Amino acid sequence: MTELRSRRVMAVASGGGHWVQLLRLRPAFSHQETTFVTVREQYRSDLDPGDRMIVVRDATRWDKFGVVILSLQIVWALIRVRPHIVISTGAAPGLIALRIGGLFGVRTVWVDSIANCEEVSLSGRRIGRHADLWLTQWAHLASEDGPRYVGSVA
Amino acid sequence: MSEAAILITVGAQMPFARLVDSVDRWAAQRPDASVFAQIGDQDPPPAHLHHVAMLLPEQLRSRIVEAEVVVSHAGMGTIITCLELGTPLIIFPREGARRETRNDHQVATAEHFGNRAGIWVASDEDELVRLLDDRSRLGTEAPTAPTTSPRLLDTIRDFVDA
């Protein structure tokens, strides 16, 4: 019998639909030590009492100052959590966490939002090929050199 | 908490006056209709609707539980929450050409989810008015709770544990 290796997981999502989708993926990683990184303190009520959560600034790619602050917060979160795996459903905080985490040798998962049903999101196209596991939630968006499709959260 | 039969929500990122004002005009002619709207920082605000700028996630959730029907932009958070809670949903998508969002992804989302039980799509004010007037019929077809694909969870779990 093989023993389950323990892993530290950092699960990252910005607000609204990104966060709701990340929560629906919880059964895939919550058996491991998980730290959630998101953009609103109020989301703590969606988690179990023992779950760890780090709140970072919400920023869009047009908000250069916000992106700098967010990047520093993500670096600090990575140093504190020292995750083996970073998983994200988007958007900006996840993109930055995957990019910087990847540079540190963290294994990364990008699950493109189910809201992107006509084309892979801009974030996904930017970060997808850097991710170790790149998934889309729409079968018709899967491709050889793009994301894989293995199902969706809804 | 007061119970509003119709809940309007436009999400946290930006206001959506075309939706809110359409419902406002509808409600002006139906004084007995009970409507509560989350409108963001819309200025001027609607005249005939109880409204707030923002709702906390758990407030939104309990409003969705209590609502007879939800009318929303095509935000995935609201769509998934309505499916989870079994509340009928009318989607009124933001349009890229009107600069209500950056492109037409909401129109595509509405098309993809619009054929699910318990979800309807209104692409303009007339369709919205028809659905609102007909709302007692919508309740007979509640959405069913979505499942996350087992294969999606397995794929991620195997990757995490490897």
Which residues in chain A are closer than 8 Å to B81, comparing Cβ atoms?
20
What confidence tens digit (pLDDT) does each residue in A75-93 have?
999 999 999 999 999 999 9
Domains held by chain A: number: 1
Verify whether the Cβ–Cβ distance B57 to A40 is below 8 Å: yes
Residue A2 lies in a domain: no
The C-alpha of A153 sits at a distance from chain B's nearest C-alpha, in angstroms, of 4
Yes or no: say if A52 and A120 are a contact pair by the CB < 8 Å rule: no
Whether residue A63 has pLDDT greater than 50: yes
- Interhelix angle B76-85/A17-24, rounded to 10 degrees, is 50
Residue A46 lies in a domain: yes
Residue A38's SS3 state is strand
A50 band by pLDDT with thresholds 50, 70 and 90: confident
pLDDT tens track, chain B, 162 positions: 445 799 999 998 899 999 999 999 999 999 889 999 999 999 999 999 999 999 988 899 999 999 999 999 999 999 999 999 999 999 999 999 999 998 898 999 999 899 999 999 999 999 999 999 999 898 888 898 899 999 999 999 999 999
Please check whether residue A44 lies inside any domain of the structure.
Answer: yes
Asked whether residue A73 is domain-assigned, the answer is: yes
**Tokens for B17?**
């006056």
Residue A40 in any domain: the answer is yes
Q: Is B6-161 assigned to CATH 3.40.50.300?
A: no
> Is pLDDT above 90 for A49?
no
- Domain regions of chain B by residue span: 6-161
Instruction: Give the pLDDT score at B1.
Output: 40
Three-class secondary structure of residue B96 per DSSP:
coil
Structural domain of residue A23, as residue ranges? 8-149
Residue A84 maps to a domain: yes
Q: Tens of pLDDT along A111-133?
A: 999 998 888 988 899 999 999 99
- Cα(B86)–Cα(B143) distance, rounded to whole angstroms? 5
What is the helix (H) or strand (E) element at residue A55, kind and residue range? strand A52-55
Rounded CA-CA distance A55/A127 in Å is: 22
User: Which residue reads 């809670």 in tokens?
Assistant: B85
pLDDT over 80 (residue A20): yes
DSSP-derived 3-state class of residue B54: coil
**Residue B110 phi/psi, 5° resolution?**
-60, -45
Optimal mutation site among B158, B160, B161, interface A, most CBs of chain A within 10 A:
B160
The CATH code of the domain that includes A22 is 3.40.50.2000
Q: Where are the alpha helices (DSSP H) in A25-138?
A: 64-81, 92-103, 122-127
**Residue A17 to residue B77, Cβ atoms within 8 A:** yes
Q: Is B148 on the interface with A (CB under 8 A)?
A: yes
Q: Are strands B50-52 and B69-72 parallel, antiparallel or unpaired?
A: unpaired
pLDDT of A34: 97
- Is B102 near chain A, with CB under 8 Å? no
Please give the mean pLDDT across all residues of chain A: 94
Chain A residues with CB-CB distance to B75 below 8 A: 16-17, 115
Q: What is the three-state SS of A6-37?
A: CCEEEEECCCCHHHHHHHHCHHHCCCCEEEEE
Contact A98, A121 (CB under 8 A): no
Question: What residues have CB less than 8 Å from B102, skipping those under 6 apart?
Answer: B96
How near does any CA of chain B get to the CA of A43, in Å? 7
pLDDT of residue B141: 85
Closest Cα in chain A, distance from residue B54 (Å): 12
Residue A2 has pLDDT above 70, yes or no: no
Residue type for position B5: A
Query: Closest-CA residue in chain B for A33?
Result: B160
Separation of CA B1 from chain center: 20
Q: What is the ipTM of this complex?
A: 0.96
**b/e code A56-81 from CB counts within 10 Å (16+ = b):** bbbbeeeeeeebeebbebbeebbeeb
| Backbone dihedral angles phi then psi of residue B51, each to the nearest 5 degrees | -150, 155
Residue at A80 is within a domain: yes
> Is residue A31 domain-resident?
yes
Note whether A150 contacts B57, CB cutoff 8 Å: no
Whether the per-residue pLDDT at A68 is higher than 60: the answer is: yes
